[in-house]
Amino acid sequence: MFFKRSLLLLFLFALALLCLILLLVTFVSAACIETWTCTDFVFGNDTTGLEYRSCTDSSGCNSTFFQPVEVRPTTPVEDNIWFFIILASGGLLIVALALYFESAALGVASAAMFFIVAGSLMTTQFLPIPGLMNGALAIVFMLVGIYVPFKIIGEA
């Protein structure tokens, strides 16, 4: 029992460390984002093509990305990362409380928090990391959201 709880707390610590690394990566890349120059263009023919925006960094970061114009975020990336950190940290806090008190209700609340984080990660350019990494992080958060309540209910 002690070993399982220590392993889970170690996993939560690693997840929190990942959040901090993402925060650091975001602040480094945020300096690049502010200097991007963007041009719009259309993929495909005029009737079925989607309008995309090509953005190239001019500050030496050598970044180019393509994103659909209609899903371009309306908030700066810095706001997005703080939203992510707040949600992820809140989810981790609720998980820690759920494990400490062995409360299924708190476990379900942590699941809801992690599914919100996962849904946010699946939106385009939520974090300034490649889309595949966004998807992988979303899957991790969904798995944690599913695991914690079942773990607590199973021990009850």
The full DSSP string for 85-129 is HHHHHHHHHHHHHHHHHT-HHHHHHHHHHHHHHHHHHTSTTSSSS
Would the pTM of this model clear 0.75, i.e. be above it?
no
**Most confidently predicted of 4-8, 95-99, 125-129:** 95-99
Quote the tokens at residue 68.
Answer: 């659909």
Quote the tokens at residue 131.
Answer: 């889309």
Residue 7 makes CB contacts below 8 A (sequence gap 6+) with: none
Structural contact between residues 110 and 95, judged by C-beta atoms closer than 8 angstroms: yes
Rounded Cα gap, residues 120 and 137, in angstroms? 10
pLDDT tens-digit profile of 101-150?
A: 777 677 777 677 666 666 666 554 555 555 556 667 667 776 776 776 67
Residue 26 makes CB contacts below 8 A (sequence gap 6+) with: 77, 78, 81, 127, 128
